[in-house]
Structure 1
Amino acid sequence: MSHDAVLTAVEARLTSTFGEPDARAAVTFLGADRIEVLRFHDADGLVRYATLGMSAAPMADPTSVVADPVAGPRAELVFTVRGGRDEVLRPLATLAASPQVEGLVVAPGASLDLGAPLWEGAPFTSFLVAEPGGLVEDLELPEPADPVHFLPLLPMTPNEAAHKRVHGAAELQERWLRHGTDLRDPLRRGVPLD
């Protein structure tokens, strides 16, 4: 499947899940293919931002000498926030370009740290990459290509990110669950970590 065919299929999966996007932004980074971020509104006031472009090529293990052009993990990022925060468009595109630019393999349980607030005044500076499959179903590609996973991004405060580094992603997610944390609330406080 060509890069374009993969992205056409990915966009079709996103629109069949969320409806038509009401906005899209494109960002191009030196040494990387163009990344788009699509914005979807739903009836409950939630806004979902999904990257388009990260899955065009498989993520390569940075230690391998030759990158396989077909096999290897493929993903797009999905961030959901109540009311929307369009300032996240560029940070999301930056993270989606990181496999191409920095040779990162983005996988569930990873932290993606921006080193700055996700938007002005945001209490969050990084994301936890969650397990795929719950929000958008994986997109199967013809063999030998791996399926495209749609990875939900959960915003973390600096303290939560530090806690996750020490205790792991599963423990942080368990804590969020125990405290009934609304991870889509753009103004939520960090979960108690004592």
Structure 2
Amino acid sequence: MDVLDSVRAGVLGHFGVQRADAASVTFLGLEPIEILRIPDGDLVHYVTLGGSRHPMTDPTAAVADPVRGPRAELVLTLRGGVGAASGLTRTLAVLVAAPAVEGIVLQQDALLDLGEPLWGNASFTAALLGKSDIAEVALPEPAEPVQFLNVAPITATEAAWVRIRGADALRTAWAEAAIDVRDPGRGAAQL
């Protein structure tokens, strides 16, 4: 079983489904990235499949290790989801391809700022990564396991808050204001 088959099995097992709808996005020079769409009551989970194909490499490393290094996939959960024509699948593919394209390492509390709406005319232009409740997928040694990172869509104001105060401060503000970050129509936290 290859890496992506293992990751797909882990995702489907986590959500207790046999299959998921998928869209494929391809960028010049990169292997295809799939975005799995998994309805779950009033929530829709979008999970990338392809970011973990290769380990992420520290951009300051002299040589990239083809086996060792962190691997990650992204999970975006939205209440009610968004339309297929919204551009969301492309955005998630751009985010998960960032390590291959820009040499960044996806990790908890990372701020990914696109400077444009994450989908359609959304007010969210950036994403804050956090720990997902999907269990890591173990790979044969010496490869590191594949981790899943939640994507929280955030506004430009919230992104600035993260840069100044940190990710935990924004999460605290959300909790205090009872903001559901899974609501695609939510407003920005009052910071």
TM-score bracket, normalised by the shorter chain, equals over 0.9
Per-residue deviation, 1:173: 0.8
What is the CA–CA distance in structure 1 between the aligned matches of 2:102 and 2:156, rounded to whole Å?
23
Runs of 4+ in 1 over 3 A off after TM superposition: none
Residue 109 (structure 2) aligns with: 109
What is the CA–CA distance in structure 2 between the aligned matches of 1:140 and 1:171, rounded to whole Å?
32
Residue 33 (structure 1) aligns with: 31
Residue 147 (structure 1) aligns with: 145
Residue 97 (structure 1) aligns with: 97
What is the CA–CA distance in structure 2 between the aligned matches of 1:20 and 1:177, rounded to whole Å?
34
TM-score (norm 2): 0.94
Mapping for residues 152-167 of structure 1, pairs under 5 Å: 152-167=150-165
Residue 51 (structure 2) aligns with: 54
Is the contact made by 1:95 and 1:112 (CA closer than 8 Å) also made in structure 2? yes
> Partner of 1:130: helix, strand, or coil?
strand
Question: Could you say what the CA RMSD is over the residues aligned between the two structures, in angstroms?
Answer: 1.2
Residue 7 (structure 1) aligns with: 4
What is the CA–CA distance in structure 2 between the aligned matches of 1:20 and 1:188, rounded to whole Å?
32
Of 13-22 and 93-102, the range deviating more from structure 2: 13-22
> Partner of 2:13: helix, strand, or coil?
helix
Alignment-mate amino acid for residue 105 of structure 2 = V
Alignment-mate amino acid for residue 91 of structure 1 = T
Per-residue deviation, 1:21: 4.4
Residue 181 (structure 1) aligns with: 179
Per-residue deviation, 1:117: 0.9
Residue 168 (structure 1) aligns with: 166
TM-score (norm 1): 0.92
What is the CA–CA distance in structure 2 between the aligned matches of 1:40 and 1:22, rounded to whole Å?
6
Task: Pick from 26, 36, 40 the counterpart of residue 42 of structure 1.
Answer: 40
Q: Within the alignment, does 1:123 sit opposite 2:123 as a pair?
A: yes
Per-residue deviation, 1:121: 2.3
Is the contact made by 1:58 and 1:73 (CA closer than 8 Å) also made in structure 2? yes
What is the CA–CA distance in structure 2 between the aligned matches of 1:90 and 1:96, rounded to whole Å?
10
Alignment-mate amino acid for residue 122 of structure 2 = A
Q: Within the alignment, does 1:80 sit opposite 2:80 as a pair?
A: no
Is the contact made by 1:31 and 1:101 (CA closer than 8 Å) also made in structure 2? no
Percent identity between the aligned chains? 49
Is the contact made by 1:10 and 1:139 (CA closer than 8 Å) also made in structure 2? yes
What is the CA–CA distance in structure 2 between the aligned matches of 1:175 and 1:181, rounded to whole Å?
8
